[in-house]
Amino acid sequence: MYSEKVMDHFNHPRNVGEIENASGVGTVGNAKCGDIMRMYLDIDENQIIRDVKFKTFGCGAAVATSSMATELVKGKTVNEALQVTNKAVMEALDGLPPVKVHCSLLAEEAIHAALWDYAEKHGIEIEGLEKPVNDIGEKEEAPEEEY
């Protein structure tokens, strides 16, 4: 059901933890499953993401997608990090079962929320970044069946 890459990132998640005095912190939740994700970004003066950490109260797919997402945004500029969509993360993981696709949104939204926090704190605007939602349930396209 899960690809080897998903299992690897679930069993050995990268970049778990917190960053003290992070440049930006973002927390999002999914009201439907109750899972929560928090992302910490350390961004240097050239707007490059020096370090990233995450913590989650989430399912295995949320852990694996966040782990991969942190690997993909590390070393990138804030603008490049915006291109790391949940689709890009899923591709990098060789896919997710359809009922778990919404879990990958937690990582994307948490990164966006952390970037938003960074931009607000530093008085800058990041082109293409939209105000984050607190609950990704608002973003899910089609209502999913109960599972």
Q: How many CB atoms lie within 10 A of CB 97?
A: 12
Contact between 24 and ligand FES per CB under 6 A: no
Of 41, 49, 52, 62, the residue at the interface with ligand FES (CB under 6 A) is 62
For 20-115, list the strands marked E by DSSP: 24-30, 35-43, 49-57
Tokens 């852990």 correspond to 63
Stretch that binds ligand FES, among 19-27, 30-38, 115-123, 126-134 (CB under 6 A): 30-38
How are the residues of the chain apportioned to helix, strand and coil, as percentages rounded to the nearest 5?
A: 40, 20, 40
**Window contacting ligand FES (CB under 6 A); options: 27-35, 39-47, 68-76, 89-97:** 27-35
One-letter amino acid of 35 = D
Is 33 annotated in the active site? Answer: yes
Q: Which is nearer to ligand FES, 33 or 48 (CB)?
A: 33
Binding region for ligand FES (CB under 6 A): 30, 33, 35, 58-59, 61-62, 103, 106
